[in-house]
Amino acid sequence: DAGVIQSPRHEVTEMGQEVTLRCKPISGHDYLFWYRQTMMRGLELLIYFNNNVPIDDSGMPEDRFSAKMPNASFSTLKIQPSEPRDSAVYFCASSPAGGRVYEQYFGPGTRLTVT
């Protein structure tokens, strides 16, 4: 079975540009999470969805960040405009419902560099 799929794997962009990260969760999983990882702050939860509905976006750093999940098999995280401090690895994770909701399966990540 395919795991969580993320694209692109690497993204280099200039400050002020729009960046869109994409995620396909594991089929049948009801939860989707977006995390950001940096050396300074570690792994931080940005937002999560349950059955395509955003549940908690309190981790989104500011209005420049937005996330959508138009259907059960696709989600996007958009940064507009991007800034150098947004440089990080962005992970998407998914998990099944019920008692195993905390067993999160991570995608390979997107390494974002903003110059």
- Binding footprint of another protein on the chain (CB under 8 A): 31, 33, 35, 41-45, 48, 50, 55-56, 58-59, 91, 101-109
Smallest separation (angstroms) from another protein to the CB of 55: 7
Smallest separation (angstroms) from another protein to the CB of 114: 19
Q: How many residues comprise the chain? A: 115
Following DSSP, what letter does each residue of 57-101 receive, concatenated?
-TT--STTEEEEEEETTEEEEEESS--GGG-EEEEEEEE-SGGGT
- Of the pair 74, 106, the CB lying nearest another protein is at 106
Alpha carbon distance 84, 104 (integer Å): 29
Smallest separation (angstroms) from another protein to the CB of 47: 9
- What phi-psi label fits residue 42: left (phi over 0), alpha (psi between -120 and 50 degrees) or beta? left
- Of the pair 16, 51, the CB lying nearest another protein is at 51
β-strand partners of 111: 10, 89
- Of the pair 82, 110, the CB lying nearest another protein is at 110
Smallest separation (angstroms) from another protein to the CB of 16: 28
